[in-house]
Amino acid sequence: MCTVDRQQILKMTDTRNNNHHNNDRNHDDDDDDDLHAVKSLPSPSKVRETISRINEPQSRETNLSNLVSLGSIDGIASFLHTNRSSGLSSSSISQRRSLYGCNALPSSPRKTWFQLFVDSFDDETVQILIAAAIVSLLVGMYDDPKTGYIEGCAILAAVLIVSIVTACNDYQKETQFRALSKANDDVQVLVKRDNVIVSIAIDEVVLGDIISVEAGDSIPCDGLLIKADSLSVDESALTGEPMDVEKNLVQDPFVLSGCIATAGTAEFIAIAVGKDSQWGIIKAHLEKEQDQTPLQEKLDSMAQIIGYVGMASAAATFLAMMFIYIVVQPEYLKDTSLFAHALEAFIIGVTIVVVAVPEGLPLAVTIALAYSTKKMLRDKNLIRHLAACETMGNATNICSDKTGTLTENRMTVVKGIFANVRQDDTAPESNTVLNADVSDFARDIILQNIATCSTARILTKAQPQDLASSDVLEEVDNRMHVVGNKTEGALLILAQSSFMGGDDYEVRRARAEFGLPRGSRIFPFSSKRKRMSVLVKEGGKDDNGSDSVWTLYHKGAGEIVLENCTSFMDKDGSIQPMTSEKKRELENVISSFASQALRCVALAHRPDIHKVIDPDTCTEEDCASKCEKEMTLDALVGIVDPLRGDVVDAVKTCQKAGIFVRMVTGDNLETAKAIAKQAGILTEGGLSMVGEEFRKLTPAQLDEILPRLQVLARSSPEDKHILVERLNGGLMPKTKEEWMEAHPGRDWETERDLLLPGYYDEWAQSRNGVGEVVGVTGDGTNDGPALKAADVGLSMGISGTDVAKNASDIIIMDDKFSSIVKAVLWGRSVFDNIRKFLQFQLTVNVVALTITFISAVAGYRPPLNAVMMLWVNLIMDTMGALALGTEPPASNLLLRRPYRRDASLINLPMWRNILAQASYQLGLLIFLLQKGPEIFGCASGSTHHFTIIFNAFVFCQVFNEFNAREIDDVFNPLKNLGQSPMFLGVIIFTIFAQWVIVEFGGDFTQTRPLTFEEWKVTSLLGAMSIPVGFIMRLIPVNENPDSFAGLQTDESSVPVKKGSSILTIFVLPIAAAIMYKVVFD
């Protein structure tokens, strides 16, 4: 129990309330004192010393006691020179920022480029190669002081280049990750300055600001409450305690940064910002690590297997070379000592391991993801978790909200019944007015309901940071901008319009004194209940002479509110009984509105509610059970929210891509069906149902209708969560204990097959253990569980609460459904780019390992020395990852069905391509190894001979990169090449670097300059990879249809060959002519 004198705090807050009214009257005097306040701001040290007394972590009682000694809330506000009614003056902001700092949280120190460079030497294989190079250097200098150092230095130089490139890639990766983290942390908060509510970036908050929060908002800094109504805060991020903490001005007026408001509304003074806040102190000691994505983990496993194969090849090559030296004793090894040959064999073996271990696989994923996430941000997709980027590409289901995602979330009241008078044109631009028959009393009741039963605000001018783009800003800059719930905003705009006489809702709210002790109470809108209530303290006296007259104002879904009304207000303000005929009439109106795709909202009230409950101590449960009945219906309004212009095409694109799109909304069934039909979601044979029916289904019954369930209306957040669980099985109860925890009081033995969502064993058996890949959109606080349960949670950047954003993987910055389609496209592009790189790298691996081993076994000196193989390693790892990992997405990716969760990374057409290219390259290298001296007139095994082989091999890789741009039967290596500047840059750099290595490498790389004819021939031999790429695609190998999932439509398919017959006519004769020219001339 808190030992602080609560009456003392109450007395101080009551004094504060009186001062609050005085401040309103003397606002002009406060403005005159602004300059003096700025000059007399306390020093930073004094502020830290004072605030630390009331901001000790986990010390609520001590903080409360110290707060009283400092003059309670009044004293702190005075100390910080904060005017509680008008907020800070703009003239003081810059000085406060310079004195006390901004609200930017400290970031963990990043590694310098040099530190990353040093870290690149931690790889054991690289360390072995360095050691071998040093031994080679020492032995070479001993045997031949003039030139013996060259090979060892060359290997060290090659390792140095690889390490520099690795450090550069890691540095760029870290820079990209930090940029995304910064964008993710960029949120807006509402503050009061110069007596105006404005929206600012979170890092622009300064000490002393008055900040407004409501359910779903993150607490941007440490603060002291000055108003609070039913405020609950999740402090688990700081304390680890899972239970929400109730906050009020008496027992616990402290709010902490990094926590989330889960219920209610509040205003507080910022008492500690940035690094001085509780979260800032903790974050200074944190270092955020970037987790690996599932694809990276899968590729790491593959890289490990390939590495083992490489080690086996290295060992076999070493043994073969030693066997040849000891047993075969060829002529070219007579002058080489056993130690020198063993050292060379060891270096070759280690180099094989370096080449074989595909470090480029995770690098390719990193580059592809970094490139894609940057591009996706331009497409209004902020990636919070990198895994979501690749996962979204193979989504099979998207469960979408209606409001704000499929529709514009630009709510307008277009018709309604006001005090029993129907009006069919209430839009602000129509310039109509409320029927003159409606009395002023009735009109005032409706306006009081609209103003008080709401937490939304209207800004007369849109804030640039609230909008998704500058284009939107130009479009809506002069319109009123809604902050908060858009439905409530539509009613406020109606109240301010000429139709209702230009009412000022702010005055009504101020008069109600929400959040103050003994002031009006608010129970915010709940998506679960589909309604909200306020208890407003009205002026006047009741029948007993008490000056505490309270009225309940209630707002919510039309049919739900109507069910709890026993009377209605007539145009003269009189209360009339709700007869069965009148109720049917109003039900027909609601149905009529819904069939026109209008959201129907009802307004009701109940006077003298203080006779039913004690408003000061009433809880939300008390209000729902005791007050929200026997109400009087005041108005029914129809609110239009037009379908977004891009939705129809976007939904159709998703369906072509094999993605099942479902609408899950809290709206009326008829409204939901009307919008779903317009959007193309509800099709012939599709099923729609309401949440009440959905909850009664058994798991087996739900599985039966899932292939047809397209619309779920009047759904609760729990319904959405259950639907997602049943689709993907991600959070399905796996044990009896987990099931009992999810269904307390129910019987496991008799009901486990009857209650949703079911249990894992039953779920897995019904679909062979492979679930759907589900993307879920959400914007509300209660959407958090469904967003977490989804494979990819997509929150709304404009309308979404902080809770929804924190629970999501991707933030849709413009709230548009078409942006979700772009996320699918980029996800598929990442997946395919990784496969392209994998196809390219495995080809190089097979050839490099095989030719080195064959030459060793056949008694030849390996044609590719350590430096050459390290260069090839650089080409296929870093260069290949840059070239193929940054390919832009092709629109035809959305004509393919998504892959199953368990689909292999390497499909049958890829194996065909790898083996065909590897066979050609191996055949070419063996041919050059045997016939090269005869064709080119050089000595067998000479530097000249091996340079020709090396050059031909590198050009094979250069041209095979063009082949690798396609992984299926489509042959178009030059397709959209102008859109791939990175690919072209890598190709040009590789050719230039190869020319430098060959022409100027000399003893360093063990190469010699080639003639123009030799360059021409070797490059043409490499170019033959292109026609080989065409021919191999004629081999009839199809991808396994069982590797695909998702919706089967006539338009979704596997890519097929196009134009093969025409290309055959031209490509084959040209290839034959080139081959004839090269071999026989």
Q: Which residues are catalytic?
A: 401
Q: Which residues contact 919 (CB under 8 A, 6 or more apart)?
A: none
Q: CB–CB of 867/158 below 8 Å?
A: yes
- Give the separation between CA 136 and CA 291, rounded to whole angstroms: 40
- From residue 982, alpha-carbon distances to 822, 828, 977, 987 in Å are 21, 19, 10, 9
Q: Which residues contact 24 (CB under 8 A, 6 or more apart)?
A: 85, 510
CB-CB neighbours of 309 under 10 Å: 14
Q: CB–CB of 392/829 below 8 Å?
A: no
- Asked whether the CA dihedral 878, 880, 881, 883 is positive or negative, the reply is positive
CB-CB neighbours of 951 under 10 Å: 25
- Give the separation between CA 366 and CA 373, rounded to whole angstroms: 10
Helices H / strands E in the chain, number of each? 42, 26
Q: CB–CB of 524/214 below 8 Å?
A: yes
DSSP lists the bridge partners of residue 211 as 191, 268
What is the residue type of 912?
R
CB-CB neighbours of 541 under 10 Å: 10
The percent of the chain in helix, strand and coil, each rounded to the nearest 5, is: 55, 15, 30
- Shortest CA distance to 915 belongs to which of 904, 902, 906, 905? 906
Q: Which residue has the tokens 């101080």?
A: 12
- End-to-end CA separation in angstroms for the chain: 99
Q: Is 539 exposed, middle or buried (0-12, 13-18, 19+ CB in 10 A)?
A: exposed
Q: CB–CB of 343/349 below 8 Å?
A: no
Enter the tokens of residue 800: 């979404």
Whether cis (ω within 30° of 0) applies to the bond prior to 757 is yes
Helix (H) or strand (E) holding 565: strand 565-569
CB-CB neighbours of 684 under 10 Å: 4
- Shortest CA distance to 175 belongs to which of 362, 370, 365? 370
Q: CB–CB of 801/780 below 8 Å?
A: yes
Q: Which residue has the tokens 């919008």?
A: 675
- Output the CA angle 18-24-30, nearest 5 degrees: 110
Calculate the CA dihedral of residues 59, 62, 68, 74 and round it to 10 degrees.
-20
For residue 83, give the DSSP letter: B
Q: How many CA atoms lie within 13 A of 670 on its CB side?
A: 17
Rg, the chain, Cα only: 36
- Shortest CA distance to 1006 belongs to which of 944, 953, 1062, 1058? 944
- Give the separation between CA 41 and CA 92, rounded to whole angstroms: 9
According to the 3-state scheme, what is the secondary structure of 388-446? HHHHHCCCCEEEECCCCCCECCCCEEEEEEECCEEECCCCHHHCCCCCCCCCHHHHHHH
- Give the separation between CA 41 and CA 221, rounded to whole angstroms: 20
Q: Is 753 exposed, middle or buried (0-12, 13-18, 19+ CB in 10 A)?
A: exposed
- Give the separation between CA 588 and CA 565, rounded to whole angstroms: 16
